[in-house]
Amino acid sequence: MTPPVWLAEAGFVFLAHSVQLWANPARAAARLTHLAAEKQKAFAEGAVKAGLAAARGAAPQAIAEAAVAPARRRVRANARKLTKG
């Protein structure tokens, strides 16, 4: 996936979540907690995968791809879930 496509998906997901939070402020705190935990998990997984790739002697591009792969998967999954209703 090219970076502009991934960034566009991330922007869409951010906008859709923002609208949901605005529309239902009573659930915003719980929803924001869930969203933050989801991001922490993806970034931690990416850090571990990047570290393992570096330890194996992977090229810098492969290390960077390993680092962002979990976040990309979450963004894509969220975009699919949000567009399905």
Q: Please provide the average confidence, as pLDDT, over all residues in the chain.
A: 91
Q: What is the pLDDT of residue 85?
A: 62
18 within 8 A of 54, measured Cβ to Cβ: no
pTM of the predicted protein model: 0.81
Q: What is the pLDDT of residue 4?
A: 72
Domains in the chain: boundaries: 3-84
